[in-house]
């Protein structure tokens, strides 16, 4: 069936090519040889991510229909920079953007989202928006269009005004036709700080460097024994910066850290921000890196009262996602979509004006009055094929508890079983590998039984059909991206014990 569908897609494309007057297609013997060589090389040496024992990376078992959707759109080579270069796939991306806003918890019509190459690009963009937004008030205070609004605000308070105040300021400056001028007055990043947990992805260090943050202004917030951001440390840092009048460009929380799958207490961070607003009249943008964890929101309502699918703290963080100013989600991780597919979801689209390109040529508004992509996205040309694939994945998978929710609940269940199999009662010494903490999501870290090289262990595991990755802490990481049945779990367990 799959082969027949693939043949039909190619036939439709060739017919379209002919009807559009394109040069005739002739795949000659040389091309065939080249493609056969490529195909053989791919089939011989590709990483076997569909295997039940593949637990090394956050690569899901992309459904073949989703891959065909990608191929189908790819044949027409659409570029989602603008509808004129991608009439169909831009429309699909509007639908996917609505899906992603709904996934994060925004009511229809609020929020703004788009696809990008991955969580790196989404993070750069989120930080770019936050940096420009927080730098706006000091600039506006020096401009006639902003001076009256900010007259009563002391210079120290200008550094960290609450986000809703800043968004109103953007709107007011735009209404007075002064936003561009004020943006030009904006100081470079200066001494603005970026606060991220110690277990956050290394992409944040790159983003901070790229956006001009001084190295010592990226503050690594401590983590607790669950690998979650330590709120007491965050509070101390935030209050110190606010009192000193030093700007906080953003606080970045992670929902599903890449190594440990740990979920930061987002609800706690939001409460901290509310407390700062009350006490100091100050705020800061909150971005959530849910590259890995975002799709777990579909698990939230799975009824399973005997064994709650999610820890209450994890459910609470997922429920708080819609209150963050922006969120990264990677459809190419738990969204079952092929690469490249990351996404940025922004809570209030007014924020985008602070990064808008002023002289782009692709800026027509969407038919529904929404914002177009090109003036606001970090990346220019973007693959329409990726939008088609995510669109198909969402429709085939189902962005609800009966769809992705069931799949991901199965992954959580597998991770929990594996954790239990390697849990050692307190005070006893295990002869083999151990799982030191109950995972927040479906990522498990195991420490080897005897001192030794995790890399060598991982290589031995490969021989028994198990693919894992190693951690800097000297253990191994298992990413459960597909549910395993009892037999599958037993195979994993036995391989881990025997090697
Ligand atoms: C995977 C991951 C990233 C990087 O994502 P890319 O899509 O590879 O750019 C960033 N943050 C977190 C939490 C991740 O899990």
pLDDT at position 369, please? 76
As beta bridge partners, residue 479 has 443
Confidence at 350, pLDDT banded by 50, 70, 90: very high
User: How far apart are the C-alpha atoms of 493 and 489, rounded to whole Å?
Assistant: 6
pLDDT at position 238, please? 98
pLDDT at position 23, please? 87
Query: Which token pair is 454?
Result: 């995790």
Atom number, ligand 1, closest to the C-alpha of residue 200 = 13
Query: Which token pair is 300?
Result: 């939230």
Atom number, ligand 1, closest to the C-alpha of residue 254 = 13
DSSP state of 82: S
Per-residue buried b or exposed e for 123-149, using 16+ beta carbons within 10 Å of the residue's own CB: bbbbbbbbbbbbbbbbbbbebebbeeb
Evaluate if residue 303 carries a pLDDT over 60. no
> Cis link prior to 340 (omega < 30° from 0)?
yes
Share of the chain above pLDDT 90, in %: 84
Q: Is the CB of 119 under 6 A from ligand 1?
A: yes
Q: How far is the CA of 292 from the centre of ligand 1 (A)?
A: 7
Q: How far is the CA of 291 from the centre of ligand 1 (A)?
A: 5
Confidence at 210, pLDDT banded by 50, 70, 90: very high
Atom number, ligand 1, closest to the C-alpha of residue 121 = 9
Closest C-alpha among 412, 411, 437, 408 to residue 422: 437
Q: Are 113 and 341 in contact, with CB atoms under 8 Å apart? A: no
Q: Is the CB of 293 under 6 A from ligand 1?
A: no
As beta bridge partners, residue 194 has 218, 250
Atom number, ligand 1, closest to the C-alpha of residue 292 = 15
Q: How far is the CA of 6 from the centre of ligand 1 (A)?
A: 31
Evaluate if residue 329 carries a pLDDT over 80. yes
Alpha carbon 428 to chain centroid, angstroms: 39
pLDDT (mean) for 151-170? 95
Evaluate if residue 294 carries a pLDDT over 70. yes
pLDDT at position 304, please? 56
pLDDT at position 189, please? 77
User: How far apart are the C-alpha atoms of 386 and 373, rounded to whole Å?
Assistant: 15
Q: Is the CB of 292 under 6 A from ligand 1?
A: yes
Q: Is the pTM of this model over 0.85?
A: yes
Q: Over the stretch 84-143, which tens digit does the pLDDT of each residue have?
A: 999 999 999 999 999 999 999 998 888 999 999 999 999 999 999 999 999 999 999 999
Confidence at 498, pLDDT banded by 50, 70, 90: confident
pLDDT at position 28, please? 84
pLDDT at position 159, please? 95
Strand, coil or helix: 215: helix
Lowest-confidence pick of 188-202, 262-276, 376-390, 448-462 = 448-462
Q: Which of 125, 330, 332 to mutate to test the pocket of ligand 1 (most atoms within 8 A of CB)?
A: 330
User: How far apart are the C-alpha atoms of 208 and 202, rounded to whole Å?
Assistant: 10
Q: How far is the CA of 4 from the centre of ligand 1 (A)?
A: 35
Alpha carbon 238 to chain centroid, angstroms: 24
Q: Which residue has the tokens 């100013």?
A: 325
pLDDT at position 305, please? 54
Confidence at 306, pLDDT banded by 50, 70, 90: low
Concatenated DSSP letters of 301-313: T---SSS-SS-HH
Query: Which token pair is 473?
Result: 């802490």
Atom number, ligand 1, closest to the C-alpha of residue 201 = 11
Is the C-alpha dihedral spanning 110, 115, 118, 124 positive or negative?
A: negative
Q: Over the stretch 405-432, which tens digit does the pLDDT of each residue have?
A: 999 999 999 999 999 999 987 777 767 8
Q: How far is the CA of 121 from the centre of ligand 1 (A)?
A: 9
Lowest-confidence pick of 93-97, 313-317, 360-364, 485-489 = 360-364
Q: Which residue has the tokens 């790196």?
A: 120
pLDDT at position 362, please? 76
Q: Over the stretch 372-398, which tens digit does the pLDDT of each residue have?
A: 899 999 999 999 999 999 999 999 999
Q: Which of 57, 118, 123 to mutate to test the pocket of ligand 1 (most atoms within 8 A of CB)?
A: 118
Q: How far is the CA of 201 from the centre of ligand 1 (A)?
A: 7
């Amino acid at each position: 069936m799959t082969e027949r569908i693939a043949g039909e897609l190619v036939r439709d494309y060739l017919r379209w090519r002919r009807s559009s007057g394109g040069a005739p297609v002739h795949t000659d013997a040389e091309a065939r040889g080249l493609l056969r060589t490529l195909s053989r090389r791919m089939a011989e040496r590709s990483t076997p991510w569909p295997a039940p024992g593949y637990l090394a990376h956050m690569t899901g078992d992309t459904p073949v229909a989703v891959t065909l959707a990608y191929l189908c759109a790819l044949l027409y080579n659409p570029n989602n920079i603008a509808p004129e270069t991608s009439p169909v796939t831009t429309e699909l991306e509007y639908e996917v953007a609505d899906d992603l806003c709904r996934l994060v918890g925004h009511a229809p019509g609020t929020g703004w989202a788009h696809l990008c190459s991955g969580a790196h690009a989404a993070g750069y963009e989120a930080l770019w928006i936050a940096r420009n937004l927080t730098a706006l008030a000091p600039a506006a205070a020096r401009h006639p269009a902003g001076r009256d609004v900010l007259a009563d605000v002391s210079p120290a308070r200008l550094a960290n005004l609450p986000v809703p105040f800043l968004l109103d300021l953007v709107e007011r400056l735009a209404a007075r036709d002064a936003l561009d001028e004020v943006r030009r007055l904006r100081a470079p990043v200066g001494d603005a700080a970026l606060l991220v947990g110690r277990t956050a992805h290394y992409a944040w260090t790159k983003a901070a460097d790229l956006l001009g943050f001084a190295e010592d202004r990226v503050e690594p917030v401590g983590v607790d024994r669950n690998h979650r951001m330590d709120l007491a440390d965050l509070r101390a840092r935030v209050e110190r910066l606010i009192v000193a009048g030093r700007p906080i460009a953003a606080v970045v929380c992670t929902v599903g850290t890449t190594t440990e799958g740990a979920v930061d207490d987002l609800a706690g961070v939001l409460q901290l921000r509310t407390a700062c607003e009350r006490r100091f009249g100050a705020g800061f943008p909150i971005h959530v890196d849910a590259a890995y964890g975002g799709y777990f929101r579909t698990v939230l309502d799975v009824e399973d009262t005997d064994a709650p699918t999610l820890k209450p703290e994890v459910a609470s963080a997922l429920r708080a996602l819609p209150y963050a100013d922006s969120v990264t989600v990677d459809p190419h991780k738990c969204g079952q979509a092929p690469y490249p597919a990351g996404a940025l979801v922004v809570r209030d689209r007014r924020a985008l004006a602070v990064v808008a390109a002023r002289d782009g040529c692709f800026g027509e508004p969407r038919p529904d009055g929404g914002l177009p992509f090109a003036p606001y996205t970090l990346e220019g040309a973007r693959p329409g094929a990726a939008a088609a694939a995510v669109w198909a994945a969402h429709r085939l998978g189902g962005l609800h508890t009966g769809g992705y929710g069931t799949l991901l609940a199965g992954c959580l269940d597998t991770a929990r079983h594996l954790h239990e199999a390697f849990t050692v009662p307190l005070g006893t010494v295990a002869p083999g590998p151990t799982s030191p903490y109950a995972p927040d999501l479906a990522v498990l870290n195991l420490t080897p039984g005897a001192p030794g090289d995790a890399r060598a262990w991982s290589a031995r595991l490969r021989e028994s059909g198990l693919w894992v990755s190693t951690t800097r802490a000297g253990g191994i990481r298992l990413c459960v991206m597909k549910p395993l049945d009892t037999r599958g779990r037993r195979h994993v367990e036995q391989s881990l014990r025997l090697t």
